[in-house]
Structure 1
Amino acid sequence: MEGRSDFSPTSRAKARPTGRRVIYTVLMYVLTPLFVLRLLWRSRANPAYRQRMAERFGFAPTLRPCLWLHAVSVGETIAARPLVERLLQAYPHYPLLVTTTTPTGSDTVKRLFGARVEHCYLPYDLPDALGRFLRRTSPVCAIVMETEIWPNLYAACAQRTIPLLVANARLSERSVRGYARVATLVQETLANVSLIAARGEQDAWHFQQLGAYAEQVSVCGNIKFDLQIPAGLVEQGQQLRQQWGAKRLVWVAASTHSGEDEIILRVFAQLRAHVPELLLIIVPRHPERFDAVARLCAASGFASVRRSAGGRVLPETAILVGDSMGEMLLWYACADVACIGGSWVAHGGHNPLEAAAFGIPVVSGVHVHNFADIFPPLCAAGGAVLVQDEAALYAQLHAWLHDVVLRQQAGVAAQIFFRQNQGALDCLIRHINTLMTIRVGG
């Protein structure tokens, strides 16, 4: 699908304040003290939430001009990694600013890119904060990852003729229903977008349902398929497996949420009765849950160690708690099978493609609406299985752990599916190059 790649006067005209956006803005100002209190509340578990508060009101580093990419948190930042690398190569004369909204996202930016990019938090969607932010940074192009629809932010970019690209754009049916409650405001907001680079035809259609024009939307595919496995990581995973015991089977339970860890531990106890050498690597999704999950594992009756404590995995060690940041790919490099959390509770699931990139078969719960474009075709290809309950999770893992041929066939199917769907990055770069040419004259 071809999309519009210019920043038209029609789009800029839509940036005029409307009654709906005025009401929205008043509500944002009224609610801002609650947003700040929420940060302070969350800072009890993670002190980083109360740090650098000024950035949330637009006090960004002075970079004029820059390229700007916004990724909400960890998942979006990791997904954006290949795009960031390409932008650094293609536009070395522009500072690259990456914004996030969470401390874990900030940590991920620093870990992945170091001093090669600038980082600050995205301001609240308040006109004065956004004006301050844009004056200090003067982006020549704004790239927003996935699904971030902010009326004042989009209008502020349009008012300043800053081309805005929504990259890897996704909208689930549930999100469409939610946004439909404020359909007119969303339609006005989307009119300020230069281009929506959708993951798939279904996402493109959902944006059009909310009022995006067909010429605004281009289907580029999912950039998460363009993940590049860092050099030497597979070898590092194999070295760890040799240290742990070459014949041990390894199950990675990734991105678990509250209420899922208990399920994982009960299934693990059943599996160990038949596979006594099985090692579980359990990786909570959020750092503030690391301690609680470590306590659950310690109370399970199995010998466990925490990655953060530097404990060695000994022959008698049954559980490794992955309470470190940035090592998820390493755990997949060590794995025989993987399950993906956020799917046994109604969260919407998490990305299975990192496991698929390593040829690891995936089992997930049924709550995967955030990845409705990935799980059905991955399951159809034979690389993943969705299970309804705890008993079905045990049955699927038991089958894979006991049948190496079955396990390897599923892993190969996952990896083939992953490789066959690459190419979104090249599409995104073409659109960004066009927008940049129009904005800065080549």
Structure 2
Amino acid sequence: MYTIYSIAYLLVLLFLLPFEYFKRPVNLRNIWIKEKLGIYSSELIRNFRRCIWIHAVSVGEVMAAQPLLRKISEQYPSKKILLSTITDTGRKVALENAGENINVVYMPFDLSFLINRVLRKINPELLIIIETELWPNFIKSFKKHNTPVVLLNGRISEKSFNGYKKIKFFIKRILRDIDLFGMQNEVYSSRIMELGAEKDRVIITGNFKFDVLKPDKIPDWAGSIKGRVIVAGSTHDGEEIMITDIFLMLKKEFHDLNLIIAPRHPERFNSVAEMLLEKKLDFLRRSQINKTQLPLSNIILLDTIGELAKVYGIADIVIIGKSFKAHGGQNPLEPALWGKAIICGPYMENFPVIQEFLKKEAALEVPESKLYETLRELLNNPEKAKTIGLKARELSKQNSGSVMKALEIVKQFIDPDNADFAQK
């Protein structure tokens, strides 16, 4: 099965390679192709032998990994960490947050001969996969080199689970090469076991994002906004129009109201801007605001990467994107850290943690048809919004500690004499 997969992967790669290469900025193209081919600098190879290799596919996983990276660096300052990612945005955020002992690279193409060449030179001590990136040859190559593999902050969305079940016979073989699974909750734990993970290798550790530190401060430009603010975070296609229309209705009653829209995918920044222009709306792109300039529009398009977590701090109400158009939802934990009133749509199946928020009245779930009414109610009753936000922040505090559990798992493999975490 691995042979069939590798042949299919190679054929698709050969077809897509020119598009993938030329779609990148000129200054990234050579770096991308070299590292995707497993050609890392001689300095990296020399300094990162026996490193801890951590793989985080994109921005969300990179940010989720930050608390663990900090803990490993604090307890083992001499350990080198190689952080691999796949997307350009993931790489950018990883570089912005990298400490002195961390090097950021693109993960090689999932072809055994490329990965094996890298592993022969670097010989990592441990591979940590953040969330669920099941690259068959990548994982198998590490096991071939006798490098332990652990999956931490593990999650399997309902959509991914249904897809994996169709090829369970192959997924089961991949999971056999993973030594330990640290899953976020019972739902994900059950799914990974149903796909073939052995029960005695699966541990529930919680969600790293409960341990993500609240940003130090709100960006200067956001802090200068006058009036109340709705932040629509990580929105998807169709949601921006809906939210903008509702905002315009609310604006007739609440004259001090502002809206910040943050599309989930950077490649949609321009299309969302075009939509706002077509509606003849007065708006500003965040990229047009400099440090000394005050936002002069009531609508701001957040067309930057890695800033949303800080911008939540200025919000009075947060709308969770990707939850109104059957896309699976987005992470509610970042606004919860700020103690903000959270509203989501009915499609949050990729983030089952929302059920705990709803049960504790730390968030509101409403259909699209009730969003205007709910926003209007919270704007008219700021004490209710404040209470929801405080409950969200308290829930975040109660669920923290997952990173320390994950660190104990890491210790089992790199420092077993000092590991306190008992596997059950």
TM-score normalised to structure 2 length: 0.91
- Cα 1:228–1:396 change in 2 (3 A) is same
Alignment of 1:378-417 (within 5 A): 378-389=357-368, 391-417=369-395
Q: Which residue in 2 is equivalent to 1:370?
A: 350
2:105 is aligned to 120
Partner of 2:405: 427
Deviations 1:248-276 (A, max 9, x none): 11000111122221112111111111111
CA gap of 1:241–1:181, structure 2 versus 1, over 3 A, is closer
Contact 1:226 1:425 in 2 (8 A): yes
Percentage of identical aligned residues: 30
- Between stretches 110-119 and 197-206, larger displacement belongs to 110-119
- Between the two structures, name the one with larger relative contact order (CA 8 Å, sep ≥ 6): 1
Query: Are residues 1:22 and 2:29 paired?
Result: no
* TM-score of the aligned structures, taking structure 1 as reference length: 0.88
**Are 2:229 and 2:315, in contact at CA under 8 Å, matched by a contact in 1?**
yes
Task: Report the counterpart of residue 225 of structure 1 in structure 2.
Answer: 210
Matched, 1:34 2:15: yes
Identify unmatched segments of 5+ residues in structure 2: 420-424
Shift of residue 418 of structure 1?
Answer: 1.0
Per-residue CA shift, 1:307-362, capped at 9, x if unaligned? 21126445x62111211222112211111000111222333211110000100111
| CA pair 28-328 structure 1, distance change in 2 beyond 3 A | same
Cross-structure match for 1:318? 298
Which of the residues 249, 260, 268 maps onto 1:270? Answer: 249
Distance 1:87 1:243, change over 3 A: same
Give distance in 1, aligned partners of 2:173 and 2:247.
Answer: 50
How far has the Cα of 1:33 moved from its partner? 1.1
**What code does the residue aligned with 1:395 have?**
E
RMSD value, Cα:
2.2
**Which deviates the most, 138-147 or 31-40?**
31-40
How many residue pairs get aligned? The number is: 412
Helix, strand or coil at the partner of 1:135: helix
> What SS does structure 2 have at the residue aligned with 1:371?
coil
Q: Structure 2 vs 1, CA of residues 297 and 313 (structure 1 numbering), >3 Å: closer, same or farther?
A: farther
SS in 2 for 1:139: coil
Deviation at 1:47, TM superposition (A): 7.7
The aligned amino acid for 2:79 is Y
The verdict on how the C-alpha distance between 1:114 and 1:288 changes in structure 2, with shifts beyond 3 A counting, is farther
Asked if the contact 2:129–2:151 (Cα under 8 Å) also holds between the matched residues in 1, the reply is yes
The one-letter amino acid of 1:435's match is F
Amino acid at match of 1:411: G
Q: Which amino acid aligns with 1:168?
A: N
- Of the three residues 77, 82, 87, the one matched with 2:62 is 77
Q: 2:335 aligns with which of 342, 355, 376?
A: 355
User: Unmatched 5+ residue regions in structure 1?
Assistant: 1-19
Q: Give per-residue Cα distances to partners, 1:165-187, cap 9 Å, x unaligned.
A: 10011113332221111112111
* 1:249 lines up with 2:234 in the alignment: no
Runs of 4+ more than 4 Å apart? 46-51, 239-242, 438-441
Give, in whole Å, the separation in 1 of the partners of 2:135 and 2:261.
35
- Residues 182 and 90 (structure 1 numbering): CA distance in 2 closer, same or farther, change over 3 Å? same
Note the C-alpha offset of 1:116: 4.3
Indicate if the aligned counterparts of 2:56 and 2:130 stay in contact, CA closer than 8 A: yes
User: Letter of the aligned partner of 1:307 in structure 2?
Assistant: R
Distance 1:440 1:244 in 2: 50
**Superposed displacement of residue 50, structure 1:** 7.3
Check the 8 A contact 1:72/1:101 in 2, yes or no. Answer: yes
Using the TM superposition, give the Cα deviation of residue 439 of structure 1 relative to its aligned residue in structure 2, in angstroms.
Answer: 11
Q: Partners in 1 of 2:143 and 2:417 — Cα distance?
A: 12
What are the equivalent positions in structure 2 for 1:177-188 lying under 5 Å apart? 177-188=162-173
